[in-house]
Amino acid sequence: DIQMTQSPSSLSASVGDRVTITCRASQGISNYLAWYQQKPGKVPKLLIYAASTLQSGVPSRFSGSGSGTDFTLTISSLQPEDVATYYCQKYIGAPLTFGGGTKVEIK
Amino acid sequence: EVQLLESGGGLVQPGGSLRLSCAASGFTFSSYAMTWVRQAPGKGLEWVSLISGSGGSTYYADSVKGRFTTSRDNSKNTVYLQMNSLRAEDTAVYYCAKARVVGAVADHHDYWGQGSLVTVSS
């Protein structure tokens, strides 16, 4: 099975900073990669699919890139409401494995 | 408006069984694959199972294979997760989630239920 590895596992940044989260697949998955945001105590929310397509209603400060095995989620200007844990997920086929998550906090 | 409402969670002893239900509304249920995802307390998301729109194809994580069964009743717009031989490590909030793309089987999820807590403990 394909493994999904996220880094870092946590980060702390200032409001307005550019934040980058990495997700690496153990085998190529083309662009079958989604990103989710889970705020504390809340349900996961789809941010990006097909590696770089923004889900409707998601702020444009979020962006995704990558293909094959290496992917990134970027928040161009971190806002207080972006405090959350972010997960990548591959969906090229079952199992639909999630990465371990990256917890983003405000410094 | 798409809504997913899980029910059936609770406290169960190790070795016991429980059936979760997820009632869907606001979309053509039979056209979309459905997934179960769980989250143990303080831990990350773990994909559990997937069922195609017709119910003809199902897939499971190795951690639950042979113990959990997912099914659906498209006449009732409901997907189920039958959990047998439960273990302490199955303790988690269980979410049902809808595939975003009509007809896709393996897909990402655009709508999630609120979750149902399953606690396995003696």
pLDDT tens-digit map of B35-62: 999 999 999 999 999 999 999 999 999 9
Residues 47-66 of chain B whose Cβ lies under 8 A from any Cβ of chain A: 47, 50, 59, 61-62
CB atoms B50 and A98 under 8 Å = no
Note whether A2 and A25 are within 8 A (CB).
Answer: yes
CB atoms B106 and A100 under 8 Å = no
Sign of the alpha-carbon dihedral angle for B41, B45, B46, B49: positive
pLDDT band, residue B20 (cuts 50/70/90): very high
Q: Which residues of A touch B45 (CB under 8 A)?
A: 36, 38, 44, 87, 89, 98, 101
pLDDT band, residue B72 (cuts 50/70/90): very high
Structure confidence at residue A37 (pLDDT): 98
Structure confidence at residue B3 (pLDDT): 98
Average pLDDT over residues A74-95: 97
Q: How far is B44 from chain A (nearest CA, A)?
A: 6
Task: Please give the backbone phi and psi of residue B105, each rounded to the nearest 5 degrees, phi first.
Answer: -100, -70
Structure confidence at residue B14 (pLDDT): 98
Angle at B106 between CA B102 and CA B107, to 5 degrees: 60
Structure tokens at B38: 């769980």
